[in-house]
Amino acid sequence: MPDAASTAQLISVAENLLLQLPTAAKAADDEPAARAETPPQGYWRRWSEDAPAVDAAPDATAQDATPGEPVPTSASASTGSSPTPATADNVPLPPLGTGEEPPYRVLIVEDDRAQAMFAEGVLNGAGIEAVVAAESRDVLDMMERVKPDLVLMDLHMPGMSGTELTTMIRAHESFLHTPIVFLTGDPDPEKQYEVLEVGADDFLQKPIRPRHLIAAIESRVKRARALGKQRMTEASRHPATGLMARPVLLQQLSTALPVNAGGVYFLEIEGTSTLRERFGYAALERLMTEAGRRLGALAGAHPATRLNDHSFLIYTPNLEDLALDRQARVWRDGLSQKPFDVDGHSIKLRVTVGYTALRHGFTDAGSALEAAEQASRHARSQALGIFAYEPPNHGQTSDLSDYLRDALADDRFELIYQPIVAVAGGDEAQYQTLLRMQAADGTLHNAAEIVPAAEQAGMIHDIDRWVLERALDVLQQRRAQSRPVRLFVPQSSRTLARDAYAEWLASAIAVRGLEGPSLVIDIRLADALIHAVTLKSFCDQLVPVGVQFCLSQYEHSPDADSLLTQLPLGYIRLSARYAHADGGALRDAMRTSIDRAHRQGLQVIGHSVEDPQAAATLWMSGIDFIQGNLVQQAASELDFDFKNAVL
């Protein structure tokens, strides 16, 4: 590579040559005029490591060169062979940069091909990746794909002005801080001010020397990257505690997996409901902030984050297995032994710690977090408040796994449907999907038998996806028949915790052209209590798509009630126990649950309604929907008459 002095010398020669091109073109009457901005073939490669020797310049050019400067010669001239034309196949890409800093990337928006080629050549020659968009309508798509550091734009584009295009770019949050620089020959200051007002960063006036263009772009990109890093640093840390943002930590963990060392710790502060009732939410939040600050000091260089109102996560990369339990005691004692001050009261916290070693073969952050969260649930019943995750014995489940896999391959799974009817009447069709599997001997197994076996065998992900694909196909068919339906589809929290599952589901809904509200994901309460954090992340990704969520088998408890505010639910399905609540505490608990759900804006489904007395009890307690054999038994067809249903 040439040194800085040689590079500057080459730029000066190139500028002089380019500025003389119009004069040379006018002197040649028998040749068409050439644009001064059009670089010679292969011009952008002149500073690449594999750049060919420059062709020998004409005598006039040699005379115009600065005295004492060597005039470059080409290998093709000395051998008499003509240079190979530059094509997409034989011209190497611009340099991709070295080290951790990627090369600068610029999107050139220019409809004039010669102008675009000139800017592209100059930037590529300086080691800057340049991509050209000739049409205004292509700019946003290209920005999504290329993620440029800077947009270099012409002020006047056919079909859309620079003002309109700048406004469109700034409307996208991803490009809110991307520098936009206009390269234009329009001297009208009013036009320039107009574009600056809607978000442009600067103007460069044509004609411009290549080195001035390069310097202007490099300085702006350098500042933009520095500011971007600063914003990322600020966004990745909680301002009060210094703890890492949850998505950042989970991304770090996901990138590192799979690994053979290290651990993940799930810390839970117990008794937060009591503290909130006694001191209020604001005081509890101050307490949790102080606990987070102390935990951050204990964690040191280990990434740590706050997961929700009362739990924290710590990732300890490269920590050996023998040290995991000792470290769990450090986290527990550091938070629980020294009291906190809450409005003048000295409070000691009880902390439980569940953890998992990462050597168990986790391939994504969701699975590791699920294991640590499950261990934390077990830690609540331990005297020490600490529990280590142990994976199931796969040797004992291999036969069961083969059995379920064969059932999937032989298409022995099926869905049946049970209607969910509004107590106030209405003709909106909605059903819960129920899974059945036919054994080789003809025996029919229901979901209560299949799901635990599938979880034990590690097959629940495959079965859940099969169920969801069949449900989406049914929704698509009914939509095509102009007979829309809403389906409540049960899914395991273990499946929903998988990293790419939300993205796959959103894509599957879009491909089929479905409306999100036609699908309701059904989540069991027992699962949700264990996997609340990962479920929250899954739900947040699908709420914008329109997918709704139902918490099933619901029973009143402080932990269960907290889920009503943690998760973006639309429905709860009551436990079957409430359908037989003849009186006393159980009926009071049911009414409390229904009232609390309604205050949260949720609709309540009464489940397992087998007789009129149960239906009357639920109806008088204020439920919104009834489901059970009293209405109709589950069947393979979706033919229930909702319009004329009488309860």
Residues 145 and 44 in one domain: yes
Residue 581 forms part of a structural domain = yes
Task: Provide the CATH number for the domain around residue 28.
Answer: 3.40.50.2300
Rounded CA separation 569/540 (Å): 11
DSSP label at residue 30: T
Q: What is the pLDDT of residue 612?
A: 85
Q: What does the pLDDT read at residue 47? A: 45
Average pLDDT over residues 604-624: 88
The answer, yes or no, to whether residue 1 has pLDDT greater than 70, is no
Average pLDDT over residues 533-541: 87
For residue 419, being part of any structural domain is answered with no
Exposed/middle/buried for 206, CB within 10 Å: 0-12, 13-18, 19+?
middle
Q: Taking Cα atoms as reference points, which of 607, 621, 622, 523 lies closest to residue 563? A: 523
Confidence of residue 94 (pLDDT cuts 50, 70, 90): very low
Check whether residue 189 and residue 258 sit in a common domain.
Answer: no
Whether residue 570 has pLDDT greater than 70: yes
In a domain, residue 647? The reply is no
What is the average pLDDT across 632-646? 87
Min mean pLDDT across 9-23, 127-141, 324-338, 423-437 is at 9-23
Residues 6+ apart with CB under 8 A from 499: 254, 364, 365, 366
Q: Does residue 241 form part of some domain?
A: no
Q: What is the count of structural domains for the chain?
A: 3
The DSSP letter of residue 255 is H
Q: How confident is the model at residue 61, as a pLDDT?
A: 40
Report whether pLDDT(294) > 50.
yes
**Gap between the Cα atoms of 202 and 220, Å rounded:** 10
Residues 209 and 317 in one domain: no
8/83 Cα distance (integer angstroms) = 25
Structure tokens at 141: 């798509």
Q: Is it the case that residue 138 has pLDDT exceeding 90?
A: no
Distance, CA of 162 to CA of 198 (rounded, Å): 10
Strands 413-419 and 430-438: antiparallel
**Same-domain pairing of 54 and 104:** yes
In this predicted structure, what is the pLDDT of residue 11?
58
From 372, 391, 410, give the residue that closes a domain: 391
Identity of the highest mean pLDDT range in 111-125, 326-340, 426-440: 326-340
Evaluate whether residue 405 is within a structural domain. Answer: no
Report yes or no on 414 lying in a domain.
no
Looking at every residue in the chain, the average pLDDT score rounds to 81
- Res. 604: pLDDT tops 90: yes
**Which pLDDT score is estimated for 255?**
84
Instruction: Kindly report whether the peptide bond that precedes residue 239 is cis, defined as omega within 30 degrees of 0.
Output: no
- In the three-class reduction of DSSP (H, G, I as helix; E, B as strand; rest coil), residue 564 is classed as helix
Cross-strand partners of 386: 353
Average pLDDT score over residue span 137-146: 88
Residue 545 burial (CB count, 10 A): 17
Residue 3 in this model has a pLDDT that exceeds 60: no
Q: With a cut of 60, say whether residue 74 has pLDDT above it.
A: no
pLDDT digit string, tens, across residues 11-50: 555 555 555 544 444 444 444 444 444 445 554 444 444 4
Residues 92 and 225 in one domain: yes
Q: What is the CATH number of the domain that holds 594?
A: 3.20.20.450
Residues 120 and 250 in one domain: no
Beta strands 105-109 and 150-153: pairing type? parallel
Cross-strand partners of 202: 181
Q: Average of pLDDT values for 136-146?
A: 88
- Cα 326 from Cα 441, distance rounded (Å): 52
Residues contacting 502, CB < 8 A, separation 6+: 496, 537, 538, 541, 542
Same-domain status, 387 and 459: no
CA of 136: how far to CAs of 75, 107, 348, 454, 589, in Å?
Answer: 41, 12, 62, 52, 61
Among 341, 366, 391, the domain-final residue is 391
The whole-number pLDDT of residue 209 equals 87
* pLDDT tens per residue, range 353-402: 999 999 988 888 878 888 898 899 899 989 999 999 988 665 555 566 77
Q: Residue written as tokens 């608990």?
A: 589
Among 624, 587, 627, 634, which residue's Cα sits nearest to residue 609? 627
pLDDT in tens, 424-446: 888 899 999 999 998 877 788 88
Same domain flag for 336 and 463: no
Residues 178 and 276 in one domain: no
pLDDT at residue 634 is higher than 70: yes
Question: Which residue range is the domain that position 504 belongs to?
Answer: 455-626
Q: Is 264 in the same domain as 196?
A: no
Last residue of a domain, one of 359, 391, 423: 391
Q: 62 pLDDT exceeds 50? A: no
Q: Indicate whether 136 and 259 sit together in one domain.
A: no
pLDDT for position 231: 61
Is residue 235 scored above 70 in pLDDT? Answer: no
Half-sphere exposure (Cβ direction) of 478: Cα atoms closer than 13 Å: 21
User: Between residues 306 and 585, which one has the greater pLDDT?
Assistant: 306
Instruction: Tell me whether residue 303 is in a domain.
Output: yes
In a domain, 596, yes or no: yes
Share above pLDDT 70 across residues of the chain, in percent, rounded to a whole number: 81
The whole model's pTM is what?
Answer: 0.52
Q: How far apart are CA 201 and CA 184, in angstroms?
A: 14
Is pLDDT of 68 > 50?
no
Residues 205 and 262 in one domain: no
pLDDT tens digit sequence for 457-500: 778 889 999 999 999 999 999 999 999 999 999 999 888 988 78
Picking from 33-47, 500-514, 524-538, 595-609, which range would have the lowest pLDDT averaged per residue?
Answer: 33-47
The CATH number covering residue 350 comes to: 3.30.70.270
Q: Is the pLDDT of residue 90 over 70?
A: no
pLDDT in tens, 304-316: 999 877 899 999 9
